[in-house]
Each structure stands twice: as C-alpha cells, then as structure tokens.
Chain A
Amino acid sequence: AQSVAQPEDQVNVAEGNPLTVKCTYSVSGNPYLFWYVQYPNRGLQFLLKYITGDNLVKGSYGFEAEFNKSQTSFHLKKPSALVSDSALYFCAVRDYGPDSNYQLIWGAGTKLIIKP
C-alpha cells in the first residue's frame, strides 16, 4: 500500500536561514508526489508536484523540493525562510486509480515555525 511519512511534527527555523521539511514515501511503481501548505483557518494550497523529469522541482512562494528515488524522499526546501512561511505543510502521494479521479494519501503534516 502507498504511504507517506513526515517524520517531524514541528520544524523551527530562524528567519533568513534555509529550511527543510522532510517527507518519505513508499509506493509500488513510479511516485507522483505533492506538497501543500495550510495557513491558519484556511484550506490547503498546492505548492508543487513531482511527476517525472528533473529531480529538483520549483513551486510557489520560492519553495522547491528534491526528489530522491534511492532514499524514497521528497523533501521541501527554501533557501531563505520568511516569517510568513510559518504554516502547516503536507506531503502527499497519488494513490492508484483512474487518471481522471486519483486519490491522495497524505502525511500527518509538519508545523513550520519561522522565528524573527
């Protein structure tokens, strides 16, 4: 069965420092991976995805993610953190199903706190 793990409940980073939010996955076949962000009292917003191709994927708000097949990881990164990046981040992997109606398997989420 497909699964996603986010090993850190919370990550604390000082503003201006690089940040990494970790995600590992377990799938049969090629993974389709997603990162979403959730701000307080809001729905989830799509950040970026990996389907195929370049292992470094760039997304919204200056975020990027590195796909590593040998380590089955898809870590979210940003070179210089902003206080406004503080939010809840979710990693997800596409489950099997028809292309027109796939389902997502979600990690438990990582709370990112950026301190001024």
Chain B
Amino acid sequence: NAGVTQTPKFQVLKTGQSMTLQCAQDMNHNSMYWYRQDPGMGLRLIYYSASEGTTDKGEVPNGYNVSRLNKREFSLRLESAAPSQTSVYFCASKVPGDSNQPQHFGDGTRLSIL
C-alpha cells in the first residue's frame, strides 16, 4: 500500500534552474496539497487542488506553479529556483467528502538551491 509517493527524495539545483516535483497517491483521494517545511515555521501551504482540473493558491504560492495532471498526480514546478526556496516539500492528500478525515503525507523532497 504505497499511499502518497514523492519523487525525487533529494535534489540540488543551481539558482535559476527549473524543476518539477512529482506527487502521486493511490488512495482515490480528491484533494491534494503541496506544503513547504522550514525550521521553526511548521508547514506552509503552497497550493492545493480540490479535485482534478482545479488548483488554488495557498499561503506562499509565489515562485511556484502546479498541475493536477489527473486524479492521482499533482506536480509542483519551480520555474527559476532561488535560494529562498531551499526547503523540504511535502505532498498530502485527503479522503473526499469527509471534512474530518486527516491528510496523508508523502515522505518529502529535500531541495537545496545553491
């Protein structure tokens, strides 16, 4: 039972390079989320997708774009990476219809921008 799978697990980029972080879930969840985690700041929502074909901005969307490719996959793209985007990125998904069910997380992508 894979749950939420994120690739790659680690990545080092140079400033200005672009990259796409991949996320896939096999739990038939409608809602998917992208967070970044920085020391002492908890998790901050970048973008989310309520269902296939829809995406919305979260708290910190600047410098990022997302694509909800299908129900399973939700990707995060950095068009021109900046050192401030060095972080750990988490993808999460949630059971549809029940507001009180928890979000399920992947193991994260550790991204360093030099």
Contacts and interface: CB of A to CB of B under 8 A. Distances in A.
Q: Do A and B bind each other?
A: yes
Contacts of A101: 30-31, 48, 50, 94
A85 B111 CA distance: 27
A43 B90 contact: yes
Nearest to B98: A99
Contacts of B100: 32, 49, 51
Interface string A84-116: 000000100010001111111011110000000
A59 B51 CA distance: 29
B105 A94 contact: no
B18 interface: no
A44 B105 contact: yes
B50 A46 contact: no
Given A42-B107, A98-B50, A108-B42, A103 B99 contact: no
A94 B99 contact: yes
B53 interface: no
Nearest to B110: A41
B64 to A, nearest CB: 16
Q: Which of A32, A41, A44, A102 has the most CB of B within 10 A?
A: A44
Give 8 closest A-B pairs by Cβ, nearest first: A43-B105, A99-B99, A46-B102, A106-B42, A101-B50, A106-B43, A44-B105, A108-B42
B42 A90 contact: yes
Nearest to B9: A41
B112 to A, nearest CB: 15
A39 to B, nearest CB: 10
A75 to B, nearest CB: 17
A25 B2 CA distance: 33
Given A44-B90, A108-B41, A109-B42, A102 B58 contact: no
13 contacts: A32-B100, A46-B102, A90-B43, A94-B99, A99-B97, A100-B99, A101-B48, A101-B50, A103-B45, A104-B103, A106-B43, A107-B42, A108-B40
